[in-house]
Amino acid sequence: MGEQPGLAGPPLARTTLDRAAHHRTDETWLAEAWKTGLVLVIDIAKGGRVLVTGLPPATPGAAGSSAAGVGGPNLVLVGADAAPEGERLFLGIDREGTPIFAVVAPLPEAYGAEPATLRDIGDRLDPRDAGILTTAAALGNWHASHLFSPLTGQPTTVVEAGWSRVDANGKQMWPRTDPAMIVLVHNGLAGADGRCLLGHNASWPTVDGVRRFSCLAGYVEPGESAEAAVVREVREEVGIGLRSLKYEGSQSWPYPGSLMLGYTAEADPEQPFVLDPEEIDEARWLSRDDVRQMLAGTFEADGVHLKLPMRSSIALYLIELWLDA
């Protein structure tokens, strides 16, 4: 229950929230908890925006601060009397014993607060707020896409404090998470001889001469293990085989509802690329020095600046794990 002190991991795997699932069907307890609890207002229609305080100005070219929870940002949580109308989603209980809820609604005006999303600030939230926002975004996205039953087509309503929906015939459904793999492929060498493989997704635009590169990723298919998905996706996207792989950790990625299973893998960089142009339109083997320059926002190749993923992603976690090896 909650985060284990001293254990590092992907940025959105951090939480100190007790989900207290045994309270989800206790309507009496929930009604009392609402009166004394705190509420996060989240606007799912606008990308899962919430209000935060302590948001510093963005630094051009930087991948983001790694000091989670140090000097903000902090989620704006309000009392029940200030919460807007909407379905109440019970998220859990914090370490101080305070019940935490979310309500999906347009954001209210709040002096000194700014809107932000989990993508923007997830890595910089403290473990309590990281757990609150990740859970709220995942639940909110699920509810938004399950207003009707896939079995009967009937409208559904929220039950179990936001952890289930039911139609008029009593057919119930629960939130589902889609497993996806993400892998940093490298050549297995330490120091200056080390190289890693990053790709540019064909759907990502080049904006103002800046092109984003990241790890290879894809969904686990029915009847497939996560490890088999790693091997398959790398072969499909860039045409190379792997000689070993290692599981490194996981985190929720509620866009809209994935669980990212993170791996590192070794491969021979002498293998020629065979790219799937619908998935990856460019792939590169990059040295540790190249990657450090990308982190600093100063790496350029063929007249284009190459950048890395956002810090809230598990992709950057895997890249920095390799970089420090």
Give pLDDT tens digits for 271-297: 999 999 999 999 999 999 999 999 999
Specify whether 116 is located in the same domain as 154. no
Residue 70 reports pLDDT greater than 70: no
Q: Say how many C-beta atoms besides its own lie within 10 A of residue 107's C-beta.
A: 17
Integer CA distances (angstroms), 74 to 18, 117, 118, in order: 19, 12, 12
Specify whether 162 is located in the same domain as 213. no
Specify whether 238 is located in the same domain as 259. yes
Specify whether 171 is located in the same domain as 186. no
Residue 163 confidence (pLDDT): 98
Specify whether 105 is located in the same domain as 189. no
Domain termination site, one of 141, 167, 197: 141
Query: Is residue 209 a part of any domain in this protein?
Result: yes
Residue 152 reports pLDDT greater than 50: yes
Query: Is residue 157 a part of any domain in this protein?
Result: yes
Categorize the per-residue pLDDT at 80 as very low, low, confident or very high, splitting at 50, 70 and 90: very high
Categorize the per-residue pLDDT at 60 as very low, low, confident or very high, splitting at 50, 70 and 90: very low
Residue 58 reports pLDDT greater than 80: no
Residue tagged 């007249």 (tokens): 303
| CATH number of domain containing 136 | 3.90.79
Residue tagged 């290692």 (tokens): 246
Q: Convert the pLDDT of each residue in 111-138 to its tens digit.
A: 889 999 999 999 999 999 999 999 999 9
Residue 64 confidence (pLDDT): 40
| CATH number of domain containing 255 | 3.90.79.10
Specify whether 112 is located in the same domain as 170. no
Peptide bond into 99 cis (omega under 30): no
Residue 65 confidence (pLDDT): 39
The pTM of this model reads 0.91
Domain termination site, one of 119, 141, 163: 141
Residues 90, 273: Cα–Cα separation, whole Å? 48
Collapsing DSSP to helix, strand or coil, 66 comes out as coil
Domain of residue 169 covers 146-175
Specify whether 151 is located in the same domain as 189. no
Categorize the per-residue pLDDT at 47 as very low, low, confident or very high, splitting at 50, 70 and 90: very high
Residue 62 reports pLDDT greater than 90: no
Total number of domains in the chain = 3
Residue 230 confidence (pLDDT): 98
Q: Convert the pLDDT of each residue in 93-106 to its tens digit.
A: 999 999 999 999 99
Specify whether 32 is located in the same domain as 99. yes
Burial of 296 (C-beta count, 10 Å sphere; 0-12/13-18/19+):
exposed
Cα angle 232, 310, 92 (rounded to 5 degrees) comes to: 90
Residue 8 confidence (pLDDT): 65
Q: Convert the pLDDT of each residue in 223-243 to its tens digit.
A: 999 999 999 999 999 999 999
Specify whether 128 is located in the same domain as 159. no
